[in-house]
Amino acid sequence: MSKEDYLNYVALCTHVDDRNEKRIEAAKTRKEWIKDRMQKGMKIKVVIDENAPQGFAHCIPIELDVWEVSGQGSLVVPCLTRNYRAVCTQERGSGYGRALMKAIEEEAKKCGKGVAIPAYDHDFWFMNKRFFDRLGYKQVDRFGRKGLFWKNFGDVEVPKLHRPRYKPKTSADKLIVELIWHPMCLTSIIERNNVRKVCAEFKNQVIYEEHDASDIHFLKEYEISRAIFFNGDYKTWGYEAPEEGVRKEIINRLRARK
């Protein structure tokens, strides 16, 4: 595989075996973010087996003000994943995750940094804390069901999780839809595209505002990477907001105003 092939693989967030039009379109935005951040020091580790990529992990200097974590002197792993179908079928025991973390720890040791991992106390596959517990990571911060797990390979400060402090807008006259998104995450980009499209259908009935959390100034001020607010009310579907779900939410709220 060429460097461009690897870049396309990571941009699709391992959905090589589960492509669709929305993911392919969103991957273009994610690819540009990856290229920009790699120029600023981000690395991506890709695990190869049977001559094919099987998963990857971001390895991002914390000073780039990444998703969910702040501090100095650590490398952040906000996302470690295998190919999509392996994830969905909950395949375990491949050793790919451990290989990725070993490669990241080697990077940290070379430059005397820590490794910081936001992980979750849930039964879902994504960034489950139990995996990092087994690798010897210690929890150094917690917010809700999210913990921050850390190993220190140098003399660096303990990182911290973000505490969202964004105050969404409300209006008595119009329905305000606010979206906070981050180009690191493929599902967040798809969510942005879905919400943009649906809000445009309602023209002047809806005020749509969008905030890119990869903007360092925004992230530092508000410490929030992803959210949707409908006239100040937070809403989540547990996955990227679907077009029909957003449309239904807007219609119900507009009807309630009459």
How confident is the model over 223-240, as pLDDT tens digits?
A: 999 999 999 999 999 889
Residue 210 in tokens: 């969008």
- In a 3-state reduction of DSSP, which class is residue 94? coil
Mean pLDDT of the chain: 91
Residue 230 in tokens: 């409908």
Share of the chain above pLDDT 70, in %: 95
Q: How far apart are CA 4 and CA 78, in angstroms?
A: 22
Q: How far apart are CA 205 and CA 62, in angstroms?
A: 40
Residue 57 has pLDDT above 80, yes or no: yes
Q: Assign domain 3-161 to its CATH architecture.
A: 3-Layer(aba) Sandwich (3.40)
- Per-residue pLDDT band for 117 (boundaries 50, 70, 90) equals very high
Contacts of residue 142, Cβ cutoff 8 Å, sequence gap at least 6: 148, 161
Q: Which homologous superfamily does the CATH classification assign to the domain defined by 175-257?
A: Glutaredoxin (3.40.30.10)
Residue 121 has pLDDT above 70, yes or no: yes
Domain 175-257 in the same topology as domain 3-161: no
Number of other CB atoms surrounding residue 14 within 10 Å: 22
H or E stretch at 257: helix 243-257
Domain boundaries, given as residue ranges, for the chain: 3-161, 175-257
Q: How far apart are CA 78 and CA 170, in angstroms?
A: 31
Q: What is the pLDDT of residue 1?
A: 80
Helix ranges (DSSP H) in 112-168: 129-134
221 touches 201 (CB < 8 A): no
Q: Smallest Cα–Cα separation from 65: which of 255, 254, 245, 219?
A: 219
Q: How far apart are CA 134 and CA 113, in angstroms?
A: 21
- Rounded to the nearest 5 percent, the helix, strand and coil shares of the chain are 40, 25, 35
Residue 123 has pLDDT above 70, yes or no: no
221 touches 68 (CB < 8 A): no
Looking up tokens 């001559």 gives: 51
Residue 15 has pLDDT above 80, yes or no: no
- Per-residue pLDDT band for 244 (boundaries 50, 70, 90) equals very high
Residue 161 in tokens: 């999780």
Q: How far apart are CA 115 and CA 117, in angstroms?
A: 7
- Per residue in 60-107, pLDDT (tens digit) is 999 987 788 999 999 999 988 877 666 666 667 789 999 999 999 999
